[in-house]
């Protein structure tokens, strides 16, 4: 069936989870911002979906007298059942996959999208898994005109788009190119519960893999072997003849540059992106995920290589005021850095998982208070309750700075009134899904199918416009003289 003939613009798969339910809340209140008109939630347990997600949305909307965008009939789909996933995908143009860890629940969803010919979006940060999936399925996806777009949330859209905007602005100004790009991130959230449990599972899975690898199999557990499906099935046919060693997300050059940049980035407690300004910061804990994506996008789009550093700042909206303030403003940065150093050997112990889950449960208990006297039968935390009402949940800011061969400077600013882990992540993913739904239709867009980073799949300028429409403030400035600047 042609994409234009399908009844739905978007299906949210995994709609009972933290990120999937957030996607439903955003679409319910703000779907027009992300170019999605007809949508449906999908989950294995439709009773849980109705009770925990959909009913509270109806109650919140009734209390506020709003006019939301109701969903189409919920779809039953199971990550372990390929036929149910194919039936789901046949109804829509884009699937937003929210069931993680993706290394456990994501592969059949991707395969179903390829088989049915619909586009795929997720918010994973599992670089190695995406690399393996591209090696396995990229040819089949490209031949079918399907875009498979990972890293569509806080990892890695703000940093990757900021880097591309800087590099593109410098390239546009006199065929110059960037030599160094740095991004500085800060965020805050209202209440707690801003870290999806799927993300926690993903982190612990990655920790276990690292523990197993570096202890020569003495610690942790071996990763599960991939189970072969029945010979001759459509799912199996997607793999045959598609195992290309060079068809990977991260080339050898990207891996080398990433290793070099991360080593330099991790050694510094502060950076100085602009002349005469000392900015206190620490290595961003997600730099290991975002740095290879930044370089992969640059390589795919033919940008000359550049150094990339990713820094974290404390203070939320006031982070840049505090960055130049008294010594007391530096303490959180130093403490974060020391915690990273102390925690590194501790992750190798079997007690690490217990500590992480204790912290998550404690955070969610503290966040389970009432907001504006909204009923809380489903046990929603603060962020979930705010999103039920269509309200924002925190703040994300990314400032980027770049310098070029010719001595030109460029900068970007990106700001959102949502928390990083759930609110911004799903607003970003839905914006990308909306662009795939709006711009592709039944026409195969050259070089944008198969596995792509968000910037490559949508295009940097279109992604900037989509985020602006969704309420994310994105701006770019170029300084060609060291003095004045002009906005783009």
DSSP 326-376: -GGGTHHHHHHHHHHHHHHHHTTSTTHHHHHHHHHHHHHHHH-S-STT---
Residue 285's pLDDT is 84
- 309 to each of 35, 100, 283, 319, 378, how far by Cα in Å? 33, 28, 8, 18, 42
Residue 424's pLDDT is 96
- Secondary structure (3-state) at 269: coil
Question: pLDDT at residue 343 above 70?
Answer: no
The pLDDT tens digits for 38-89 are 999 999 999 999 999 999 999 887 777 677 899 999 999 999 999 999 999 9
The C-alpha atoms of residue 209 and residue 205 are separated, in whole angstroms, by 6
Question: pLDDT at residue 335 above 90?
Answer: no
Whose tokens are 């390829």? That residue is 114
SS (H, E, C) 406-419: CCCEEEEEEEECCC
Question: pLDDT at residue 339 above 90?
Answer: no
Of 326 and 462, the structure prediction assigns the larger pLDDT to 462
Tokens representing residue 28 in the block? 């319910």
321 confidence band (pLDDT: 50, 70, 90): confident
Minimum mean pLDDT among 260-264, 278-282, 314-318, 423-427: which range? 278-282
Residue 74's pLDDT is 98
Of 204 and 311, the structure prediction assigns the larger pLDDT to 311
For the chain, what's the residue count? 488
Residue 487's pLDDT is 38
The pLDDT tens digits for 232-253 are 566 776 765 555 555 667 889 9
Residue 247's pLDDT is 63
* Chain mean pLDDT for the chain: 83
Expressed in angstroms, the distance from the first to the final Cα of the chain is 41
Question: pLDDT at residue 161 above 70?
Answer: yes
Question: pLDDT at residue 312 above 50?
Answer: yes
Residues 164-192 have a mean pLDDT of 89
- Spatial neighbors of 239 by CB under 8 A, at least 6 apart, are 136, 137
Residues 344-360 have a mean pLDDT of 64
370 confidence band (pLDDT: 50, 70, 90): very low
Tokens representing residue 468 in the block? 């602006």
Q: Is 197 exposed, middle or buried (0-12, 13-18, 19+ CB in 10 A)?
A: middle
The pLDDT tens digits for 59-70 are 887 777 677 899
481 confidence band (pLDDT: 50, 70, 90): very low
Closest by CA position to 96, among listed 37, 1, 203, 15 = 15
Residue 372's pLDDT is 43
172 confidence band (pLDDT: 50, 70, 90): confident
Residue 250's pLDDT is 83
Residue 333's pLDDT is 56
β-partners of residue 189 are 394
Of 218 and 37, the structure prediction assigns the larger pLDDT to 37
Residue 359's pLDDT is 60
Question: pLDDT at residue 226 above 70?
Answer: no
What percent of the chain has a predicted confidence (pLDDT) above 70?
72
The pLDDT tens digits for 101-138 are 898 899 999 999 999 999 999 999 999 899 989 988 99
Residue 483's pLDDT is 34
Question: pLDDT at residue 266 above 70?
Answer: yes
């Amino acid at each position: 069936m042609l994409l234009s003939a399908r009844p739905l613009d978007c299906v949210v798969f995994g709609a009972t989870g933290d990120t999937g339910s957030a996607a439903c809340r955003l679409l319910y209140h703000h779907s027009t911002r992300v170019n999605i008109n007809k949508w449906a939630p999908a989950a294995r347990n439709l009773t849980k979906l109705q009770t925990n997600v959909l009913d509270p949305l109806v109650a919140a909307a009734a209390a506020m007298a709003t006019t939301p965008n109701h969903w189409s009939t919920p779809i039953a789909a199971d990550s372990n059942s390929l036929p149910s996933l194919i039936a789901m995908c046949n109804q829509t143009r884009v699937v937003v996959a929210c069931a993680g860890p993706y290394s456990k629940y994501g592969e059949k969803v991707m395969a179903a999208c390829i088989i049915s010919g619909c586009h795929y979006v997720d918010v994973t940060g599992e670089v190695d898994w995406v690399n393996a999936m591209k090696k396995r399925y990229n040819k089949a996806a490209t031949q079918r005109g399907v875009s498979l777009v990972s890293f569509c949330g806080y990892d890695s859209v703000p940093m990757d788009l900021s880097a591309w905007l800087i590099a593109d602005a410098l390239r546009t100004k006199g065929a110059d190119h960037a030599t160094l790009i740095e991004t500085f991130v800060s965020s805050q959230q209202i209440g707690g519960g801003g870290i999806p449990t799927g993300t926690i599972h993903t982190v612990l899975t990655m920790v276990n893999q690292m523990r197993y690898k570096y202890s020569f199999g003495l610690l942790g557990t071996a990763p599960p072997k991939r189970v072969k499906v029945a010979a001759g099935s459509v799912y199996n046919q997607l793999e045959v003849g598609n195992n290309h060693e060079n068809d990977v997300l991260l080339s050898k050059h990207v891996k080398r540059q990433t290793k070099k940049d991360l080593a330099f980035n991790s050694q510094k407690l502060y950076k100085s992106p602009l002349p005469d300004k000392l900015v206190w910061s620490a290595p961003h804990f997600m730099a290991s995920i975002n740095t290879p994506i930044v370089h992969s996008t640059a390589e795919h789009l033919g940008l000359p290589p550049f150094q990339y550093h990713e820094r974290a700042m404390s203070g939320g909206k006031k982070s840049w005021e505090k960055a130049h303030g008294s010594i007391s403003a530096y303490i959180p940065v130093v403490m974060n850095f020391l915690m990273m150093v102390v925690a590194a050997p501790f992750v190798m112990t079997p007690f690490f998982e217990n500590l992480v889950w204790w912290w998550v449960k404690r955070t969610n208990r503290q966040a389970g208070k009432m907001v504006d006297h909204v009923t809380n039968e489903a046990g929603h935390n603060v962020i979930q309750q705010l999103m039920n009402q269509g309200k924002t949940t925190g703040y994300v800011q990314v400032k980027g700075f770049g310098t070029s061969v010719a001595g030109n400077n460029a900068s970007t600013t990106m700001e959102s009134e949502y928390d990083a882990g759930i609110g911004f992540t799903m607003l970003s993913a839905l914006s990308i899904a909306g662009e795939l739904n709006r711009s592709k239709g039944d026409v195969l867009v050259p070089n944008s199918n198969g596995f792509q980073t968000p910037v490559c799949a949508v295009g940097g300028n279109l992604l900037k416009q989509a985020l602006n429409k969704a309420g994310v403030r994105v701006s770019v400035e170029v300084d060609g003289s060291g003095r004045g600047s002009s906005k783009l």
